[in-house]
Amino acid sequence: MRETFLVDWAFTAKNEIAKVVENNYANEAYRWPLVRSFNFEGYIWNLKYLIVVLRDKLSGVSAGPSKPEPLNDPTAPNEALSMANLDIWQLYIRSKFAVRNQDMAIIIPITDRSSNIKDDRAEWSEADKQLWQKQIDLTITKHFYHLKGFDLIDEFFIPPGYRFLADECEKFFEDHPQYDHNILIMTRFVAGNRPLEILDQELRSILIENNINPVRTDDKMYLGDRNLWNNVCVYMICCKFGIAILEDHVVNEFNPNVALEYGFMRALNKPALLLTDVGFHNLRADIIGTLREQFDIANIRETIRAPIEKWLKEVGIIGDL
């Protein structure tokens, strides 16, 4: 291994981050982690991999040791890095070396015969190249969430293609800060309809009683341009749970808005309950096999609590009743 191997890869990793930021988040470059300055350290695992840790700092000269240290830790993963165990390796090194969300930890295959970064990469397999890119992508995501203040929100993520809503999500969390307590009520909106008003009141009351924060997409507009769909997306992204109400009491149809919102949340693998009126007869083939709970819109107060609390228990939101 050449004398500058660690230094070369520390600055290569930083430059890769800077390039992605410049191409995709240029307006955030002035405050992006690691781009301004950093300290680094390195560790050798099993003579096969170099683990590089970059630690963000606000100013000063970027610095670190000239040589990596050996990693002799019996608790380290036993298997060589692969796509299948990348999450395990990342969890280990982030815990082992106290890597923060504004830092970076990346695992690099060691090539003994190379004299520079270009030659190092020329010896990589296709799998090595994919692992490098995946680790860069993971780092960019963590940095992005760090900048937007999402560090402490358990399991929260913004799906690909929706990061343009990050500022609106930040505003949403100012109003509803506990992601794992937020639940979206997906239902028909008809002002002045008494059964739907009672349904909304009872649902919210039961959920609040169980320390859950119920919201509806008409509660508040978070988009400056008042784009309705993007506002709905903010709610769906920022709620960990959902309850979709299926009823055709007001209009004889399978409400398309409820169907769209339910499908979006299930595509994100978020737990969502289908709560169906006993008189609902507009079921579609794609949900007939989905487990549903029932209530009676003609007798809401007497029939709504049991199915809601049963589901809350099943998904682990509340304990045994």
The answer to whether 68 touches 46, Cβ cutoff 8 Å, is no
Angle at 314 between CA 309 and CA 316, to 5 degrees: 95
How far is 176 from 170, CA to CA, in rounded Å? 10
Question: How is residue 235 written in tokens?
Answer: 């709610």
The amino acid that residue 200 corresponds to is D
Question: For residue 253, what pLDDT is reported?
Answer: 67
Q: In the chain, helix, strand, coil percent, each to 5? A: 45, 15, 40
All structural domains of the chain with their residue ranges: 5-147, 163-314
Question: For residue 288, what pLDDT is reported?
Answer: 46
How far is 138 from 84, CA to CA, in rounded Å? 15
Angle at 38 between CA 35 and CA 42, to 5 degrees: 120
Question: For residue 285, what pLDDT is reported?
Answer: 45
DSSP H or E run through 144: helix 126-147
Question: For residue 278, what pLDDT is reported?
Answer: 86
Per-residue pLDDT of the chain (321 residues; tens, 9 = 90+): 788 999 999 999 999 999 999 999 998 999 999 999 999 999 999 989 999 999 999 899 999 999 999 999 999 999 999 999 999 999 999 999 999 989 999 999 998 677 889 988 999 999 999 999 999 999 999 999 888 877 555 678 888 889 899 899 989 999 998 898 999 999 988 777 888 899 999 999 999 999 999 999 999 999 999 999 999 999 999 999 999 998 887 766 667 889 899 999 999 999 999 998 887 765 654 554 466 788 888 899 999 999 999 999 988 887 653
How far is 157 from 267, CA to CA, in rounded Å? 13
DSSP H or E run through 107: strand 104-109
Is the sign of the CA dihedral 138, 29, 7, 117 positive or negative?
positive
Q: What is the CATH number of domain 163-314?
A: 3.40.50.450
Question: For residue 292, what pLDDT is reported?
Answer: 77
Question: For residue 283, what pLDDT is reported?
Answer: 61
User: Which pairing describes strands 49-57 and 37-45: parallel, antiparallel, or unpaired?
Assistant: antiparallel
The answer to whether 37 touches 61, Cβ cutoff 8 Å, is yes
Q: Report the predicted TM-score, pTM, of the whole model to 2 decimal places.
A: 0.66
Question: For residue 6, what pLDDT is reported?
Answer: 94
DSSP 70: E
DSSP 63: B
DSSP state letters, 178-214: -GGGEEEEE----TT-HHHHHHHHHHHHHHHHTT-EE
DSSP state letters, 255-293: -HHHHHHHHHHHHTT--EEEEEETT-----HHHHTS--E
The answer to whether 140 touches 105, Cβ cutoff 8 Å, is no
